[in-house]
Structure 1
Amino acid sequence: MSRPSLSVDLALLVVSAGSLLAGLLFAALGRGAVAHALWAAGALPVMLALSVSIVTALRRHEAGVDVLALLAIGFALGLSEFLTAAVISLMLASGRALEQYAQERARREMTALLNRAPRHANRFEAGEWRRVELDTVRPGDRLLVRNGEFVPVDGSLTGRAQLDESTLTGEAAIQQRLSGESVGSGVVNVGAAFEMVAAASAADSTFAGIVRMVESAQQERSPATRLADRYALLFVLAALVLAGGSWLVTGEVVRALAVLVVATPCPLILAVPVAVVSGMSRCARRGVLIKGGGALERLAQASVLFFDKTGTLTSGRARLVSIESGPGISPETVLRFAASLGQASAHVISEAVTTAARERNLVLSAPCQVVEQPGAGVRGEVEGRAVSIGSFAYVSSMASSAPWSTAFLQRVAYEGASAVFVGVDGAMVGALQMADQIRLETPRALRLLRQEGIRRFIMLTGDRRDVAETIGATLGLTEVLPEQTPSDKLEAIRAAHREGTVIMIGDGVNDAPALAAADVGVAMGARGAAASSEAADVVLLVDRLDRLVEGLRVARHTRRIALQSVIAGMVLSFAAMAIAAFGFLPPLLGAVIQEVIDVAVIANALRALRIRSTATAGSLSRRDAEQLKREHVELGPVMAQIRELADKLHRVPGTSVAGALAGVNDVLKRYLVPHEQHDDLEVYPGLARIVGGEDPMAALSATHREIFRITRLLRQMTEDIPPEGPDAASLCELQRLLYGLDAIVRLHCAQEDELFHALGEGE
């Protein structure tokens, strides 16, 4: 339905209210003729605005549902019911102004996003910084971003930066970015001025794409809105029949007027668009950009969910899983040599190795004489020693193969991971197992999606069957389709349409056809491939799968609120029409009642702005969450030492077993046990208050007790080992305890990481 601007509606409200009050004043003074003239004069502008709305709607082939209001004012004036006409005009003008306010209120977050679009950039030209139009910026330009300014285009930093990325992600915390990291357009510099190198033009940057999506979302009318127009048209016909019938049966035209007054279909024409836009706004506030009301409606009805694997269920980035080291060399030494050399390579695996070393606070040395063979590996000097890292074939061509390498390669293949071998001075000293791990939020997101009514979960991936099925079994997916080409994904989604409304989530260019074919395509992350974002109906601006849960929840609650508003409003309107048709409701009182119904409908529709998110009642600060995760990273060497001893314990000479175990016990006593005790006594009480409930940390606390039991038992058994070494049964029991401790500590850390991640996402 076409509506004038808010300023026009306010002007109509002022005119109609002023004429009504002035008329009442003159009527009280006994000047009835002047009062009637004022009331009529106040009604005429509203009639004109209604006529314009009707004509505009009909030209756009939409329902001109304002006809009932126009007829009501016309009948009132024709019957010399001037006060009634004035009251109806005031009610309509206030309703129109209220509707405009509600929609503007709901659009506030998306409109604010559009208003933040950068307009200029500071570019280095001819030895000085010059302010230039944004459209003139090209990739490779050197740019300066001052404090408080928006980053104009996508690019990479040449120094440190403090950024407020909430415009893109909805995350309010300040982000610290280092030299070389990428930065997206539209984020705000909240620290000192920094320089950057443009990587894209303004039109091709992240923020420009989001702005295009938002503009499209604001212009699209949802299917529910169009459906409401059709229902409203039927409502208009029913009202006209009832009004005409009451007039013909009773001969009282006032009854027809009373029916028309209470028959305006505002519950339909106001509730649905206000609720839908409110829902879209609520999603935008949490970093879920829904491109239109139609997408929100389809999302609310979804029951089948397809996933891409890499970058969706998994992080899309390799991380260190384990370190294999040769005799006489520690895992930390293997990692330190690999990371030191990896500093000179831009390969994603090298960056992941370097990141893992820095997380473990290892001191890296500067490499020299570095030579990189793309796709194979890197060689150079570190601390005066010849070091090589890369594939087995690459490293074995410069270093003698280790006896453990074959078994390591087989284990890595089973787990679908990749291997980085490390050679030092002509000997293969170790290897790193790297894997694209499941996102921390993925298990929780899948549980919540099941709670929201998703019946089937299908993973589409180009990976090998064994790798895909391992992830599918880990996550409890309904079905796994491995070794899929883009065309295979397309066919799978088309076949699933028979079962219900289909969602497809992906982040790569090869996912674009599947995203377009699904009822609702969801692209992961604002910095994902442009093709997938353009093809998708929903873009998760925050690179977290659990944000889809919030979008789905908001969509379903929005649809429910819209239906509640429509049903309640229509029932009340029909009841009022029936009462008016029987002559028990005069036109003047009917106008007041109809306005009350309209206000109640709009207020109920605005509840979509307050739909709760999936976040818990409280949240950890980002700093605390990251600190807790870092403590787990620091436990990595401890867990590696437990596993290493468990693997080789049966090969250790009997007289050396007690010494080897004593070394591990000392590490457990100094690092693992104090860490778990601190968590149990200091961290868990605070987490319990955030999570809520009587004893929410009971299960995790029980794991602490099991860790304490095993470490104590291991220490006691070590003290009882005779000088000649343990017997076969005792050795087997010691090895079982080590493997059990390794498994339970790793599982416990994974559970805590998921909890910290969930509680820390509310910031």
Structure 2
Amino acid sequence: MPRSLQSIDLALLLVSAASLLAGLCFAAAGRSAIARALWAAGALPVLLGLLVSIVKSLRRHEAGVDLLALLSIGFALGLSEFLTAAVIALMLASGRALEYYAEERARREMTALLNRTPRHANRFQTGEWRRVELDTVRPGDRLLVRNGELVPVDGSLTVHAQLDECTLTGESAIQQRSSGESVSSGVVNVGATFEVVAAASAADSTFAGIVRMVQAAQHERSPAARLADRYALLFALAALMIAGGSWLVTGEVVRALAVLVVATPCPLILAVPVAVVCGMSRCARRGVLIKGGGALENLAQASILFFDKTGTLTSGRARLVSIETGPGISAETVLRFAACLGQASAHVISEAVTTAARERNLVLSAPCQVVEQPGAGVRGEVEGHAVGIGTFAYVLSLASPAPWSAAFLQRVAYGGASAVFVCVDGTMVGALQMADQIRLETPRALRLLRQEGIRRFIMLTGDRRDVAETIGATLGLTEVLSEQTPSGKLEAIRAAQREGTVIMIGDGVNDAPALAAADVGVAMGARGAAASSEAADVVLLVDRLDRLVEGLRIARHTRRIAFQSMIAGVALSFAAMAVAAFGFLPPVLGAMIQEVIDVAVIANALRALRIRSTATAGSLSRSDADRLRSEHVELGPVMEQIRELADELPLLPGTSVAGALAGMNELLRRHLLPHEQRDDQEVYPGLARLIGGEDPMAAMSAMHREIYRIARLLRQMTDDVPPEGPNAASLCEFQRLLYGLDAIARLHCAQEDELFHALGDGA
């Protein structure tokens, strides 16, 4: 509501209240003529305001339902019911103030985004820091952000920073960001002063895009609001018919006036807009930006969900899955050589290899004499050794193929992954399997979406059929449409729209047409492609798929509350009109009752602000969740050695088997078993309190017991191995135990990672 209209409504409220009270005082003193004049004077400004409002609404082709209020005040004045006119005027003025308060309360989180728009930046120029207008900032500029200030534009950090991102993402925890990480405009510096190198202009930054979306959302009327307007016209006609009928039948015009009074203002035009804005505001608070009431309503009715694969179901970033090694070479050695050389390459796969090595706390040396062939590989010198990493064809030009390479390539192809081969001094020593892994929150998000009524899950991707179907089978999707072109995606969405309301989720530029075609387009992450965010109806400001569940749940509850409020308000108004038509409700009392109905309707609509989210009763701090996941990363080499020993056991000399198994038992005793015991005794009790229930961690503890059992059995069998080595049956049993331990430990870590991720979401 513009400031001018807000001031006018406040003035009307004060005038009507003052005139009513003053008139009552004069009436009590026996000065009835002055009292009537004051009551009329208080009603006339409200009457004039209603007339102006009706004309403006009709010019916008919107329902002029204030006509009932205009008629009721006009009737009251014409019948010399001046006290009734004054009461109606006060009720109308207070109703407008109440509606304004409700909408402002509902828009609080969305308005907070607009109020926090950066206006200036501190830029380094001519040897000093200068305060400049935000529009003058360009990519590459050095900017200074002091404690308590907003980051003005998107950029990259030059030092460590502590940031409050809650306005954008809904995450309450302070985020720790390192040098080189990207940072979005609009977040708050809550730590020491830092520098950021601008990566975009103000107009192209994340926050500016979000502000444009919010402004569009605040001006859009939802289909339900427009439908309510149409119903409101029917309601107004019905009220006029009831009022006119009671007048014609009884000849008492006061009854007609009473009917008009209780029908003013109409609850239809209050309930739906307030509830819809409440729902949008609640979503914004959880990092789900819905661009308008129409999108909220479509989301509430959705039953079919399309996904893009990369960056939506998966993380969009390559991660180390496994390491293949040649005879006598450890996995750690292969990874270290690859990571040392990878430091000199800006390729995303090289960065992923280097990241994997650092997660395992490997000490890396600086390479020299580096030569990179873009898209193929890198070669150089590491600690006096000639090292090469890259595709199989590239490394084949530097070394002869290894006996295991063909089988490894086949295995990588089955999984839809990529391979990084490593050669040292002309020998192919190993290879790394890299893959874009499924997001930790994806399985949970799909389970919750099923609970919310989504009946079809369809993956749309341009990837190969075997890769897509592997992901689809892993996640239990309804359908998988692979090798899709942008036009093919559009056709699939349009075909599905004949069966129900369709949601499409994506994050890339190529997803923009599909997002625009769907009933509800959802863009993943505010830092994603600008084209997808602009085309989408919903933007997940937090790069997490499970936030869509919260948006869907809030949308459905909001729609239910809106229609409950609308139906309840209309039913109460019709009941009051019936009572008034039969002469049991005088106009003054009717005005008061109608005010009570309006208050009840708005109060019910405001319940949409309190819709619960999918967040758990408690949550892990971000640092605790990251620490627990990092412990699993450190266990990665242990699990790789378990698998390697299982593979190599039949190839070892009989006399070496006992020593290899003893070494494995010692590795388990020092690393794996203490980790699981610590989880059971220290971590799980805290998690159980957060989750709630009598024994929520029972199934996870059972996996610990199975790991203990296998480790103990392995140790006992190792003690009984004869000097010449185990027989064929015992060797098979050792392999079975090692493979089983590897599978259980990996599955258990994956389950814990998913749990830590869910609990680390923040309330």
TM-score by length of 2: 0.98
User: What do residues 224-253 of structure 1 show as CA deviations (whole Å, max 9, x unaligned)?
Assistant: 111110000000000000000000000000
Report the Cα distance in structure 2 between the residues aligned to 1:74 and 1:672, rounded to whole angstroms: 84
Does the 8 A contact of 1:389 with 1:423 survive in 2?
Answer: yes
Structure 2 counterpart of 1:252, one-letter code: E
Residues 623-645 of structure 1 deviation map (CA, whole Å, 9 limit, x = unaligned):
11111111111111111111111
Superposition map of 1:246-285 within 5 A: 246-285=246-285
Which whole-Å CA distance do the structure 1 matches of 2:326 and 2:420 have between them?
14
Give the match for residue 310 of structure 1: 310
2:411 and 2:98 map into 1 onto residues whose CA distance is: 66
Residue of structure 1 in register with 2:425 after alignment: 425
For residues 183 and 373 of structure 1, the distance between their equivalents in structure 2, rounded to whole angstroms, comes to 31
Q: Distance in 2 between matches of 1:5 and 1:308?
A: 46
Counterpart secondary structure, 2:123:
strand
Instruction: Supply the distance in 2 between the matched residues of 1:78 and 1:431 (Cα, whole angstroms).
Output: 93
Corresponding residue SS for 1:436: strand
Q: CA deviation at 1:90?
A: 1.2
Establish whether residue 83 from structure 1 lines up as the match of residue 74 from structure 2: no
Paired letter, 2:148:
G
> Is contact 1:154–1:182 with CA below 8 Å preserved after alignment?
yes
The CA deviation string for residues 347-406 of structure 1, in whole angstroms up to 9 with x for no partner, is: 111111111111111111122222211101111222222221111111121123221111
2:670 corresponds to: 670
Taking the aligned partners of 1:680 and 1:528, their CA distance within structure 2 comes to 39
Alpha-carbon offset, residue 194 of structure 1:
2.0
Give the Cα separation in 2 of the matches to 1:250 and 1:752: 76
Shift of 1:160: 2.4
Distance 2:158 2:755 in 1: 35
Kindly report which structure 2 residues correspond to 1:605-644, keeping only aligned pairs within 5 A, or say none: 605-644=605-644
**SS of residue matched to 1:545:** coil
Residue 505 of structure 2 aligns to a residue in which SS?
strand
What is the deviation of 1:610?
A: 0.6
Residue 208 of structure 1 deviates from its aligned partner by 0.8
How far apart are residue 159 of structure 1 and its match?
2.5
Please identify, of 577-586 and 375-384, the stretch whose mean Cα deviation from structure 2 is larger: 375-384
Tell me how far apart the structure 1 counterparts of residues 3 and 140 of structure 2 sit (CA, whole Å): 46
- Between 327-336 and 602-611, the greater mean CA deviation after superposition: 327-336
Residue pairs, 1:474-513, within 5 angstroms? 474-513=474-513
Alignment partner of 1:562 is 2:525:
no
More divergent stretch after superposition (141-150 vs 60-69): 141-150
Counterpart of 1:634, as a letter, is E
CA distance, structure 2, for counterparts of residue 563 and residue 330 of structure 1: 65
**Structure 1 stretch 28-37 or stretch 563-572: which is displaced more?**
28-37
Question: Which residues in structure 2 correspond to 1:292-691 (within 5 Å)?
Answer: 292-691=292-691
The 2-side partners of 1:101 and 1:344 are apart by 59
CA deviation profile, 1:440-460 (whole Å, cap 9, x unmatched)? 000000000011110100000
Separation in structure 2 between the aligned mates of residue 82 and residue 762 of structure 1, nearest angstrom: 57
- CA drift of 1:177 comes to 2.1
Structure 1 residue 707 corresponds to structure 2 residue 707: yes
Give deviations 1:280-325, integer Å, cap 9, x for gaps: 0000001000000000011100000000000000000000111112
Residue in structure 2 matched with residue 693 of structure 1 by the alignment: 693
Asked whether the equivalents of residues 335 and 357 of structure 2 are also in contact (C-alpha less than 8 Å), the reply is yes
Identity of aligned residues (%): 87
Secondary structure of the structure 1 residue equivalent to 2:267: helix
* 2:158–2:196 Cα contact (<8 Å) kept: yes
Structural mapping, 1:708-727, within 5 Å: 708-727=708-727
Q: Following TM superposition, by how much is the alpha carbon of 1:146 offset from its aligned partner in structure 2, in angstroms?
A: 2.1
| Equivalent position of 2:217 in the other structure | 217
> In structure 1, what is the Cα distance between the partners aligned to 2:572 and 2:125?
68
Measured after TM superposition, the shift of residue 155 of structure 1 is 1.8
Larger CA deviation: 12-21 vs 630-639: 12-21
Q: Which amino acid aligns with 2:676?
A: E
2:585 counterpart SS class: coil
Gaps of 5+ in 2: none
Deviation, 1:493, is 0.4
Q: Is the 8 Å Cα contact of residues 714 and 737 (structure 1) preserved in structure 2?
A: yes
| 1:589 to partner: Cα distance | 0.9
Bigger shift: 736-745 or 143-152? 143-152
Query: Are the counterparts in 1 of residues 173 and 762 from structure 2 also a CA contact under 8 Å?
Result: no
Moved more, 185-194 or 742-751: 185-194
| Aligned positions, number | 763
Post-superposition offset of 1:3: 11
Distance 2:114 2:27 in 1: 50
Aligned equivalent of 1:752: 752
Report how far residue 47 of structure 1 moved.
1.0
- Maintained 8 Å contact 2:336/2:362: yes
Q: Which residue of 2 aligns with 1:190?
A: 190
Partner AA of 1:442 in structure 2: T
Q: Is structure 2 residue 177 aligned with structure 1 residue 204?
A: no
Q: Aligned-residue CA RMSD in angstroms?
A: 1.3
Amino acid at match of 1:598: D
Contact map agreement 2:23 2:36 (CA 8 A) in 1? yes
The farther-off stretch of 226-235 and 148-157 is 148-157
AA aligned to 2:259 is V
State the shift of 1:335 in Å. Answer: 1.1
Matches of residues 735-750 of structure 1 in structure 2 within 5 Å? 735-750=735-750
Q: Is the 8 A contact 2:122 2:144 kept in 1?
A: yes
Of stretches 187-196 and 32-41 in structure 1, the one that deviates more from structure 2 is 187-196
State the 1:157 CA deviation.
2.1
Normalising by the residue count of structure 1, what TM-score does the alignment of the two structures yield? 0.98
Spell out, residue by residue over 1:557-609, the C-alpha distance to the aligned partner (whole angstroms, 9 max, x if none).
00000010011111110000001000111111111111111000000000111
Q: Is the 8 A contact 2:65 2:266 kept in 1?
A: no
User: Matches of 1:284 and 1:5 in 2, distance apart?
Assistant: 26
1:469-498, Cα deviation, whole Å (9 max, x unpaired):
011011000000000111110111011111
Distance (whole Å) between structure 2 residues aligned to residue 368 and residue 7 of structure 1: 72
Residue 67 of structure 1 corresponds to: 67
What is the DSSP-based 3-state SS (H/G/I as helix, E as strand, rest coil) of the residue aligned with 2:498? helix
Aligned mates of 1:44, 1:369 — CA distance in 2: 89
Compute the displacement of 1:161 (Å).
2.2
Q: For the Cα contact (< 8 Å) 2:418–2:434, is it kept in 1? A: yes
Contact 1:2/1:53 (8 A) holds in 2? no
Could you say if the C-alpha distance between residues 247 and 2 of structure 1 is closer, same or farther in structure 2, counting changes exceeding 3 Å?
A: farther
Worse-matched range after superposition: 704-713 or 11-20: 11-20
The one-letter code of the counterpart of 2:376 is: A
Letter in 1 for 2:165: E
Query: 1:18 deviation in Å?
Result: 1.3
Q: Output one character per residue of 1:682-725: Cα deviation in whole Å (capped at 9) or x when no partner.
A: 11111111111111111111111111111111111111111111
Aligned mates of 2:380, 2:16 — CA distance in 1: 83
Counterpart residue identity of residue 62, structure 2 = E
For 1:96 and 1:369, locate their aligned partners in 2 and report how far apart those are by CA, in whole Å: 75
Letter in 2 for 1:134: L
Gapped regions of structure 1 (runs ≥ 5): none
| Contact kept? 2:112, 2:167, Cα under 8 Å | no
Q: 1:140 to 1:4 in 2, by over 3 A?
A: closer
Q: Distance in 2 between matches of 1:687 and 1:303?
A: 33
Q: Aligned-pair distance for 1:2?
A: 10
